[in-house]
Amino acid sequence: MDLLLKLPWDWEPSVVVGCIVLAAGYLLFARGRAFFFLTGTALLLLDLVSPIDTLGDRYLFSAHVVQHFLLALVIPPLWLLGIPNGAAESALKRPPIAGLERFLSKPFVAWTAGVGAMLVWHAPALFNAALASDGLHITQHLSFLVTGTIFWWPVLHPIEDHRMAPLGGIAYLFSACVACSLLGAVLAFARPGLYPAYLNPEDRLGILPVLRDGWGLDAKNDQQLGGMLMWVPGCFVYLSGIMWIAARWYSAPERPAGELAR
């Protein structure tokens, strides 16, 4: 904990200004469920400027997984929960937006976008390329936000009648949980060195001895921890979504059986 407090924060102007614009735009035009949207925006700011970013970029694969976890699985659902019905209905009355939304909200498209981004970006060749290129790294993070939002849209659609039916939503999230678990297991049990930048990182901050000896995170343990974070907490988010769907299904008025799996 002392180390985290001593690590520098990277107050990248584009990130800070972007988060301020998001929060201000929401309060100006939407407001409805401010707690959720503003919490998601605050987490985005912390994810990208706090020491997590420094550790993930330069030292620890596991810290990078935490970043991706927040960008794809935590921030997007909070944003979607914060969108008021009225704002969504107003936006979806515009033909270009409505047409794009109809396509992206198809479960197969949304699932492929969200889960596919997670699988593709953690392929060693692409992940390592992103670590070596600032532009590609920014693209990687933005893609997790965008595809994460697309993934959660059919489940957490601001207009409740547009959400997936309970059985479909449960299957949708469970299959994503399985895919995320498999990726986490592969990373946890693979040989160390899938991501060479974390084998012998350049220690500009002089913290590597603490990470390796104090925290016990050598390259092998770090990669295993990253895989386990994707495997267990990642799957827990999907399972939380399943429990939320089941709870709402149980408390809702009875509907015709054909609507449950539509």
| pLDDT one-digit tens code per residue, 38-88 | 999 999 999 999 999 999 998 999 999 999 999 999 999 999 999 888 888
Asked if the structure places residue 170 within a domain, the reply is yes
Q: How many CB atoms within 10 Å of residue 24?
A: 10
Distances from the Cα of 146 to the Cα of 104, 233, 262, angstroms: 11, 21, 26
Asked if the structure places residue 1 within a domain, the reply is no
Q: Dihedral angle at the C-alpha atoms of 244, 62, 186, 229, nearest 10 degrees?
A: -20
**Contacts of 111 by beta carbon, 8 Å cutoff, 6+ apart:** 151, 172, 175, 176
| Confidence band, pLDDT 50/70/90 cuts, at residue 255 | low
Q: Which pLDDT score is estimated for 258?
A: 52
Q: Which two tokens stand for residue 32?
A: 């409805």
Q: How many domains does the chain have?
A: 1
Asked if the structure places residue 87 within a domain, the reply is yes
Asked if the structure places residue 200 within a domain, the reply is yes
Residue with tokens 């149980």: 250
CA distance 97 to 105: 12
| Confidence band, pLDDT 50/70/90 cuts, at residue 214 | confident
| Confidence band, pLDDT 50/70/90 cuts, at residue 248 | confident
Asked if the structure places residue 172 within a domain, the reply is yes
| Confidence band, pLDDT 50/70/90 cuts, at residue 179 | very high
CA distance 55 to 58: 5
Which residue segment(s) compose the domain that 254 sits in? 7-259
What digits encode the pLDDT tens for the residues 123-157?
A: 999 999 999 999 999 999 999 999 999 999 999 99
Asked if the structure places residue 128 within a domain, the reply is yes
Residue with tokens 């969108």: 83
| Confidence band, pLDDT 50/70/90 cuts, at residue 90 | confident
Q: Which two tokens stand for residue 262?
A: 């539509």
CA distance 250 to 244: 10
Average pLDDT value for the chain: 90
Asked if the structure places residue 100 within a domain, the reply is yes
Q: Which two tokens stand for residue 61?
A: 């694969």
CA 16-19-22 angle, to 5 degrees, is 150
Nearest to 66 by CA among 42, 50, 89, 82: 50
Q: Which pLDDT score is estimated for 4?
A: 65
Asked if the structure places residue 178 within a domain, the reply is yes
